[in-house]
A and B are shown apart, each in its own frame.
Chain A
Amino acid sequence: MSIPSELKYTKSHEWVKQEADGTVTVGITDHAQEALGDIVFLELPDAGRTVKAGEECAVVESVKAASDIYAPVSGEVVARNDAAIDAPESVNQDAYAAWLFKLKPSNPADIGALLDAAAYAKVADEH
């Protein structure tokens, strides 16, 4: 199971990458894709949507189940990954390359409160 140290994480198995332009990129962790199994469908938020931290804003469906994806921080959706929508299996192949959406956080300081890799490794161990 891969947990890159430069990323931030949530208890609900999203990864969050801080970009130089002040936005964050969000995806699901390697642990999450492995638990879901073969991913066959993604429902991602449209750019312009405002989301609150913890709000359901995307759905990842594998052959066996649908799983909600939560906004890691509050903000505005600025992009979604249409290439991943067209090739949902890319999330299984590389969960950290196949991002789902990008957010412009309403309060950039919120990112600091997310889990670091060591803390997420403990969460992933328990689930």
Chain B
Amino acid sequence: MIKRTPLYDAHVAAGAKMVDFAGWDMPIHYGSQLEEHHIVRRDAGMFDVSHMRAVDVAGCDAQAWLRKLVANDVAKLTLPGKALYSCMLNPEGGVIDDLIIYFFSPTKYRIVVNAGTADKDVAWMLKQAEGFNVSITGRPELAMIAVQGPNARTRFWAAFPDAKAASENLIAFQAAEFNDWMIARTGYTGEDGFEITLPAADAPAAWTKLLAAGVVPIGLGARDTLRLEAGMNLYGSDMDETTLPTESGLTWTLDLKDANRDFIGKSAVVTRHPQRQLVGLLLEDRGVLRSHQQVVTKQGNGETTSGSFSPTLQRSIALARVPLGINIGDEVEVIVRDKPLRARVVKPNFARHGKALI
């Protein structure tokens, strides 16, 4: 049975084209994916991301447990509401999921995980909790709305003036609790904005108020091209349980500073030397790169993991896993329908904050 978010009726009423995304009936676009993409880069758009799962962690061992569970180190979180992006690894160093952890106190955190992996993640967390004084509570009843774009915060405050005081001083990657909402200055677009986690019952009215404040509904199609332009990985495409963070452009998320901390997957990521790396590709010939296309390089073959047309750059871009030894600026070929197309290796950071970075 396909699942619906509390905003399903709002999407249908807005003329959304609905698709099955990880078992959820979600809007892929409301008319034009390209226009929606540009609205987020230039003004403000909103995404229903209620399919993502909040998981609350509480208890006197919450910090110690999270320091074991994930590869980044929550001990560096001291500012209330501050968030941390991390991988949750299996013992072989493969990525079970990527997630965001919000810190409220050393005994109270919230984790937000991907929709497609939520059940697997919670089962894994519960299994790893043995021996720790910690409670792990999935919150599938909560809705999430991401408001993103250069004008996102201003328009959010126009819709919810009461929430301004609680959220106007948030720095990037910090959240505040506001009544029973969580307002986080995070996102998946490369633009400023908030991600609001709120009770399902509040979501339709909040969506309507944001609409009235000029925030435009954006489908998951544009969410994908926005995150790709921002060089953000998509779980299941750019990394999974068979890839190391070091092969996935995520070495920066491994915190090895505390030699006494033993997180799951640590020995594997320390001892297993990556043979491959994740890079960005900019297509120089005409065409559109897609995932799972062969990349031919002087050092051997690789594969695209995500690819699309970049609305901001007006040409095609991709993330690709290629052999070590390939450097930024190198020329490679991508095989598209049996034809080699020329592409240039670039840093996987194509566009953010309304601007092309290439």
Contact = CB atoms under 8 A, between A and B. Distances in A.
Interface of A: 37-38, 40-41, 43, 59, 61, 63-64, 66
Interface string B217-234: 000010001000000000
Contacts of B308: 63-64
Given A59-B337, A63-B225, A64-B221, A40 B32 contact: no
Given A63-B225, A63-B309, A63-B311, A38 B286 contact: no
Contacts of A63: 33-34, 221, 225, 308-309, 311
B33 A64 contact: yes
A38 B290 contact: no
Given A63-B34, A63-B225, A41 B28 contact: no
11 contacts: A37-B29, A37-B32, A40-B309, A41-B287, A61-B309, A63-B34, A63-B221, A63-B225, A64-B221, A66-B288, A66-B337
Nearest to B311: A63
7 A-B pairs closest in CB distance: A38-B34, A40-B309, A61-B288, A63-B33, A41-B288, A63-B309, A38-B33
Given A41-B287, A61-B287, A63-B225, 13 more contacts: A37-B29, A37-B221, A38-B32, A38-B33, A40-B288, A41-B286, A41-B316, A43-B287, A59-B337, A61-B309, A63-B221, A63-B309, A64-B308
A68 B33 CA distance: 21
Contacts of B32: 37-38
A66 B308 CA distance: 10
A61 B337 CA distance: 12
A38 B316 CA distance: 14
Nearest to A43: B287
Contacts of A66: 288, 290, 337
A43 B290 CA distance: 15
Contacts of A59: 337
Contacts of B33: 37-38, 63-64
A41 B32 CA distance: 16
Of A40, A61, A63, chain B has the most CB atoms within 10 Å of the CB of A63
Contacts of A64: 28, 33, 221, 308
Contacts of B29: 37
Interface in B306-355: 308-309, 311, 316, 337
Contacts of B28: 64
Nearest to B32: A38
A66 B221 CA distance: 15
Interface in B30-55: 32-34
Contacts of A37: 17, 29, 32-33, 221
